[in-house]
Amino acid sequence: MLVSLRVRDLAVLEEVEVSFGGGLTVLTGETGAGKSLVVDALSLLAGDRADPSLVRAGAERAVVEGVFVSDDPEVRRVLEEGGFDVGEGSGAGEGVEVIVRREVAGGGKGRLFLNGSPAVLRTLSEIAPRLLVLYGQAEARELLDAGSPRELLDRFAGAVSLAGETALLHAAWREKEQERARIEAAGTRRGERLELLSFQIGEIDAVSPLPGEEENLSAEKAALSTVEKRGDLLSSVLAALESDEAGALPALAAARRSLAALAETDPAHGASLAGLQEAVERISDIAAVLSREQERLEANPRRLEEVAERLGALAQLRRKYGPALADVLAFRERIGRESDDLTDIDRAIARAADAEAKAFREYQGKAAALSAERAEAAPRLSAAVVRHLKELAFLSSRFGVEVARKEGNEAWTVHGADVVTFSFAPNPGEPPRPLSKIASGGELSRVQLALAAALAEAEERAEAKGPRAKEPSGRKGAPVRTFVFDEVDAGVSGATAAAVARKLRALAATGQVLVVTHLPQVAAAGESHFSVAKVTARGRTKTRVTDLDESGRVEAIASMLDGVSVGDAARQQAIQLLRSSAPGLRR
C-alpha cells in the first residue's frame, strides 16, 4: 500500500507531500491544475523513464519519493538479495517498508534509491509491479496492441512464470539452430577453413603458452635485469656493516668491550651490556643473510635473453589472438573444437541437428503447456469481464477472448504458438469485433476497468491459494497492492458514471485505489478526497494538493456539478451524492 508521496520541483509541483490510507482515494481539480503530474510522479515510482524537461525551472533536480508497506514475500526477497535494508526484527510474514526515491536532474541524469541505498532501475522494475500499477489513457490504448491480450490472459491464468520459461527455451532452441546452421555453412568452405585453422593452431602450439606463464616470466625478467644493481647495493650495505675502518659491527664490538669492563666495575650497567650484546648478534645475523644473498647473485645474460624472447613470442600471440594470454588459450580451445568438427563434418552436423531437435522438443512441450493454460483460462476471463461490464452499464455486451494457433514456420515464437485477441460487442444484436474496430474512448476505458477488476480477482484468488512468490516479477505479471486510475471514467456520464464509481469502490474493498476523476459520482464514492489546484505567489505558479474535509468535499463536488458559480442546489446535490456513497456523512 502507498503510505505517502512527496514531490519536489516536478514542473508546477514545487513542494507537495500527501499521506494516503486504504480504500478508494479520489483526486479532483480543474483541467491543467496538475493532476496528471501527480500521475507522472507515481509513474516514476513504478519504474518509468524520467523526462528531464519536467524539472521545475530554476531547480537543479526534481525529487519524487514514495513510501510503501508491502507484505509480499517476493518484495522482501528482492530487497534482501540486493542488500537493501528491510528493517530490524521484521519477520518474513510481516510487512516491509519500501521507500522509493527518484531524482531527475535537469541535465538528464537521474538517481534511484531504495530504502536509502543507491539502486538501478532493473531492481525497481522487479518490485514495482508488486507495489503499484497504473491504468490510464495510454494503458487503455495498449489494449489495442497485438501483444497486450496475450500478456493479460497469461496474467489472468497465472501463467506468467510458464510464459517466461517458454521464452527461455525458445532462446535456447534458436541458439542451437544457429549453431547447426553455422556448422553447415562452414562445411561448404571446409577446405579453406581447415587450412586457416591448421595455420592458427600450429602458430599457437609452436609457442605452447601456459596459464599464468607471462606473469612469472615478467617477474623473472625484472629480477635478472637488476642483478648488477642489487649486487652493488648489497656491497655497500655489507661495507657499512663490516668494514674495519668505519663498519658498524667493529664499532659495536669495541663499544661492547668497553661496556663489559664498565659493568665489572659497576654492575648497574649489566642491562645495557645485555642489550648491546643482543644488538650485535642481530646485526651480525643480518650481515650473514645479506652476504649469502650476495654470493648467490650471478648475472645470467643468456637466461635474460631467453626470457625476453619468450615474452616477445607470447606478446605476438596476444596481439593476434588476445588481448590477454587467457583469451589466446580460449581461442585455441575453440578453434580446436571447430577443426575437429570440420574434420568429421557429417558427424558434427548430425550432433548439432540432434541438439537442435532436442531443444525444439523441450520448447514445443512448454509452449503446448502454455497454450493449454491459455485455452482453459480464455472463457473464464471472458465471463469475468462480461460480469464486470454488466456492472458498468453494459447490460447486454459480449466480450470474447480467442486463442488461435499460428501456422507454418512462423508459428513458434518467443511467446509460444498462440495469437490471443479480444473482441467486443457493446450493444445487443451486433457481432463481436476487435476492440480496435468497435470501442470508443469511453467504452475502452470501461473495458479496461472491467479487465482490471477481473485480473485483481484472479490474483487475489492466487494469493489465497499459495505463495505469491511463485510468479516471477514482471511489468504486468505480479500481485499488486495499489491501483492508480487516471481518468478511467473519461467519456461517461449519468447512470454509467455511477456504475463506474461503484465498480471502483468495489475494487478498493480488497486493496488501495487512487483515481483521478472529473466525475462527481466517482468523486463522491471516494473514502478520501484530495483537491489539486494551481496557485500563484511571487510571480510563480505552483500546484497545491489539499486533503479535503467533509465540507470541502461538498464544495468540490458541487463545483463539479455546477461549474464556477456554486449554488445551494448544487451543494444539496453534492450532499446527496456523498450520503448515497457514504451514509455516515454529516453536515
Q: What is the pLDDT of residues 10-37, one digit of tens each?
A: 999 999 999 998 889 999 988 888 888 8
Please give the distance of CA 527 from its chain centroid, rounded to a whole number: 34
Residue 527, SS3 per DSSP: coil
What number is the average pLDDT over the span 488-514?
82
Residue 587 has pLDDT above 60, yes or no: no
In the predicted structure, residue 8 carries a pLDDT above the cut 90: yes
Give the Cα separation of 548 and 529 in Å (integer): 6
Q: 440 falls in which pLDDT band (50, 70, 90)?
A: low
Q: Is the pLDDT of residue 348 over 90?
A: no
Predicted confidence at residue 584, as pLDDT, reads 43
CA–CA distance, 551 with 301 (Å, rounded to integer): 99
| pLDDT score at 478 | 39
Residues 6+ apart with CB under 8 A from 516: 26, 27, 28, 35, 36, 38, 39, 484, 485, 486, 487
Secondary structure of residue 102 in the 3-state scheme: strand
CA distances to 72, 341, 376, 377, 448 from 146, rounded to whole Å, are 31, 43, 20, 19, 15
Between residues 20 and 134, which one has the greater pLDDT?
20
Residue 48 has pLDDT above 70, yes or no: yes
**pLDDT at res. 473:** 38
Amino acid at 497: A
**Angular region, 222: left φ>0, alpha ψ -120 to 50, beta rest:** alpha
Q: Are the C-beta atoms of residues 579 and 586 closer than 8 Å to each other? A: no
Q: Which of 4-13, 93-102, 379-388 has the lowest mean pLDDT?
A: 93-102
306 against 460, higher pLDDT: 306
**244-273: average pLDDT:** 89
| CA atoms 490, 491, 497, 502: torsion sign | negative
What one-character DSSP code corresponds to residue 56?
Answer: P
Q: Is the pLDDT of residue 129 over 90?
A: no
Backbone angles phi and psi of 463, in degrees to 5: -65, -35
Instruction: Provide the pLDDT confidence category of residue 402 given band limits of 50, 70 and 90.
Output: very high
